[in-house]
Amino acid sequence: MSDTLRTILKIILVLDLIALVLAGLYMLSMFAKRCPKSGFYAKLGDCHYAHRGLHAIHAGIPENSLRAFRLAANNGYGAELDVRMSRDGRLVIMHDESLKRTTGANANVGGVTEQVLSQLTLEGTREKVPYLEDVLPLFDGKTPLLIEIKTENNNYAELTRMVTDLLKQYPGLDYMIESFDPRVLMWLRKHRPDIIRGQLCENLFKDETCKENFLIRFLLSNLMGNFLARPDFIAYKYEDRNDLAAGLCRKLWGPQFFWWVVGSQEAANELVDRGDKIIFEGFAAK
**CA dist list (Å): 272 to 45, 69, 240, 258, 269:** 11, 23, 17, 10, 5
Q: Does any domain span residue 219?
A: yes
Q: Does any domain span residue 23?
A: no
Q: How confident is residue 217, by pLDDT bands cut at 50, 70 and 90?
A: very high
DSSP per residue, the chain: --HHHHHHHHHHHHHHHHHHHHHHHHHHHT--PPPPTT-STGGGGSS-EEETSS-BGGGTB-TT-HHHHHHHHHTT-EEEEEEEE-TTS-EEE-SSSBSHHHH--SSBGGG--HHHHTT-BSTTSSPBPPBHHHHHHHHTTSS-EEEEE---TT-HHHHHHHHHHHHTT-TT--EEEEES-HHHHHHHHHH-TTS-EEEEE--TTS-TT----HHHHHHHHTTTTHHHH--SEEEEEGGGTTSHHHHHHHHHH--EEEEEEE--HHHHHHHHHTT-EEEE-SS---
pLDDT, residue 38, reads 61
Beta bridge partners of 178: 148, 198
Q: Does any domain span residue 68?
A: yes
Q: Does any domain span residue 16?
A: no
pLDDT, residue 208, reads 82
Long-range Cβ pairs for the range 12-15 (8 Å, 24+): none
Q: How confident is residue 28, by pLDDT bands cut at 50, 70 and 90?
A: confident
- Report whether pLDDT(150) > 80: yes
- pLDDT above 70 covers a percentage of the chain that reads 89
Torsion angle of C-alpha atoms 270, 276, 277, 278, degrees rounded to 10: -40
Residue 223, C-beta contacts closer than 8 angstroms, at least 6 positions apart = 29, 30, 32, 199, 201, 234, 245, 249
Q: Does any domain span residue 286?
A: no
**Of 151, 138, 121, 137, whose CA–CA distance to 61 is shortest?**
121
* CATH number (domain holding residue 69): 3.20.20.190
pLDDT, residue 254, reads 92
- Report whether pLDDT(265) > 80: yes
Mean pLDDT across the chain:
92
Q: Does any domain span residue 226?
A: yes
pLDDT, residue 255, reads 93
pLDDT, residue 36, reads 76
Q: Does any domain span residue 10?
A: no
Residue pair 255/34 in contact (Cβ under 8 Å)? The answer is yes
Average pLDDT over residues 110-124: 97
Q: How confident is residue 137, by pLDDT bands cut at 50, 70 and 90?
A: very high
- Report whether pLDDT(37) > 70: no
* Number of domains making up the chain: 1
Q: How confident is residue 26, by pLDDT bands cut at 50, 70 and 90?
A: confident
Q: Does any domain span residue 9?
A: no
227: domain range? 31-280
pLDDT, residue 3, reads 66
- Report whether pLDDT(286) > 90: yes
Residue pair 144/176 in contact (Cβ under 8 Å)? The answer is yes
pLDDT, residue 59, reads 96
- Report whether pLDDT(147) > 90: yes
- Report whether pLDDT(232) > 90: yes
Average pLDDT over residues 140-158: 96
DSSP per residue, 110-128: GG--HHHHTT-BSTTSSPB
Least confident segment among 23-32, 77-86, 108-117, 175-184: 23-32
